[in-house]
Structure 1
Amino acid sequence: MSIKSYKDQAHMLVKNYILADHFVPYTSILTGILSCKLVYDLTDLISSFYIKTYPSLTKIQPVDWNNRGISTTRAIFVSSLSLYFVFWSDLFSDSKLSGLMVFRSSTLSTFGLGVSLGYFFEDLAMTLWKYPSLGGIEYVIHHILSGIAVA
């Protein structure tokens, strides 16, 4: 009986909160994709200016390096957002809200998930575009499963 209750709560969360306003999820996914392009270009620019051996790298090595810059930037963004939610946000405060924590959501948390989903789309596309130079089938499976989990 309790599993059905949790399932109903999850369905209500998705229907009434996450998908109630389509602007935030779609905008955040687009923001994630465009941010990846911006970070890729900035990593390329900064690396070519400050790292003397960067221009002498093989054809795929700068792509891999810049792709790692995107991954690191997203990890810093998600970690910062997580720290905010844990230490400063009322979203996970037991005294303010009722119900299970896994069913709580906010516009900012939806935005963070959308940015991550945009990153996974971009990184999957980059991996497929340069396949297998940037990673093999395990990278493709990783990005597909991670994107599904975030979505």
Structure 2
Amino acid sequence: MEVKYYKSQAEQVVRNYLLADPVLPYSSLLIGIFLCKMAYDLTHALSSYYFKCYPSLTKVQRIEWNNRGMSSAHAIYITSVSIYLVFFNNMFSDQLEGPVTLRYSNFSTFTLGVSVGYFIADLVMIFWLFPSLGGMEFVLHHSLSLIAIAYTMLSGEGQLYTYMVLISEATTPEINLRWFLDTAGLKRSSVYLINGLLMFLAWLVARIFLFVYLFYHMYWHYDQIEKMHIFGYILVFLVPIVLFGMNLVWFGKILKGVKKTLAKKK
């Protein structure tokens, strides 16, 4: 009887959320796109002034440079909020009544909307300059992320697991810094080596260990996941599994790169 009640509740949330409060999700989405434009332009302005190599880059390289500044800004924001909501806020605590899969707040929904705005802006740029900013693996990654984040933003379902996955954005600033240093001709610097080691550790923690914890948490809360709408139920399992597989492949490449760099230093 209780299972039927929560299933009915979840379906009602999915059907009525757009009509109940359309201002919050869509305004946050637009704010996210606007902030991305600001971060892109700010990266361009600061880079033109502080980095001597920037003016000599090709047009495509400058666009990618600015794009990576934008993605780093989003990564820092979404990682900070995700860590706070998952580990330091009691909204998803097991001590509260009701399934963790059906909990959300205005703040958590707003933050997801900002992230949706980012993924839309970044996907548009990827398609615009395809494949200069990333190949099909980036399209797959961004498309899955966009669908999952947009659904949980609009429905309020599964926000805990969405935020757990978004913590993996902690690796983005290190990846971008690696590209910046390489493009600026600093591939042989000690900063490049240190950043490579930090990228390896961040990837191991945020994209490997954390996903293992995510699957563990899903296993022990499966009865609550069952109370989600069927579409949300599928996304909760499909998106982390696909992304985890991609993370493992990319981690193997990072590991090879770290070994190669350390061998050169020796």
Q: TM-score range by the shorter chain?
A: 0.7 to 0.9
Q: CA deviation at 1:16?
A: 5.3
TM-score calculated relative to the size of structure 1? 0.87
**What is the distance in 1 between the residues matched to 2:37 and 2:93?**
36
> Which residue type is aligned with residue 48 of structure 1?
S
**What is the distance in 2 between the residues matched to 1:133 and 1:5?**
49
Counterpart position of 1:128 = 127
Q: CA deviation at 1:137?
A: 2.1
Query: Given the superposition, is the C-alpha separation of residues 136 and 104 from structure 1 closer, same or farther in structure 2, using an over 3 Å criterion?
Result: same
Q: CA deviation at 1:36?
A: 0.5
Q: Report Cα offsets for 1:74-102 as digits up to 9, x if no partner.
A: 1111112123323543412344x411112
Contact preservation (8 Å) 1:40, 1:67: yes
Counterpart position of 2:107 = 108
Larger deviation, residues 75-84 vs 36-45: 75-84
Q: CA deviation at 1:147?
A: 0.6
Counterpart position of 1:67 = 67
Counterpart position of 1:10 = 10
> Which residue type is aligned with residue 41 of structure 2?
D
Q: Which sections of structure 1, spanning at least 5 residues, go unmatched?
A: none
**What is the distance in 2 between the residues matched to 1:105 and 1:148?**
18
Partner SS for 1:91 = helix
Aligned sequence identity (%): 55
Of structures 1 and 2, the larger Rg is shown by 2
Query: Given the superposition, is the C-alpha separation of residues 2 and 143 from structure 1 closer, same or farther in structure 2, using an over 3 Å criterion?
Result: farther
> Which residue type is aligned with residue 64 of structure 1?
E
Counterpart position of 2:43 = 43
Larger deviation, residues 130-139 vs 17-26: 17-26
> Which structure has the higher relative contact order (CA within 8 Å, separation 6+)?
1
Counterpart position of 1:118 = 117
> Which residue type is aligned with residue 142 of structure 1?
H
Query: Given the superposition, is the C-alpha separation of residues 3 and 47 from structure 1 closer, same or farther in structure 2, using an over 3 Å criterion?
Result: farther
Counterpart position of 2:147 = 148
Q: CA deviation at 1:53?
A: 0.6
Q: CA deviation at 1:6?
A: 5.4
**What is the distance in 1 between the residues matched to 2:126 and 2:94?**
41
**What is the distance in 2 between the residues matched to 1:54 and 1:101?**
47
Query: Given the superposition, is the C-alpha separation of residues 24 and 54 from structure 1 closer, same or farther in structure 2, using an over 3 Å criterion?
Result: same
TM-score calculated relative to the size of structure 2? 0.51
**What is the distance in 1 between the residues matched to 2:91 and 2:84?**
10
Q: How does 1:80-119 map to 2 (within 5 A)?
A: 80-95=80-95, 97-119=96-118
Cα RMSD (Å) of the superposition? 2.2
Which structure is higher in helix share? 2
Q: Which sections of structure 2, spanning at least 5 residues, go unmatched?
A: 151-266
Contact preservation (8 Å) 1:18, 1:105: no
- Paired residues, what number? 150
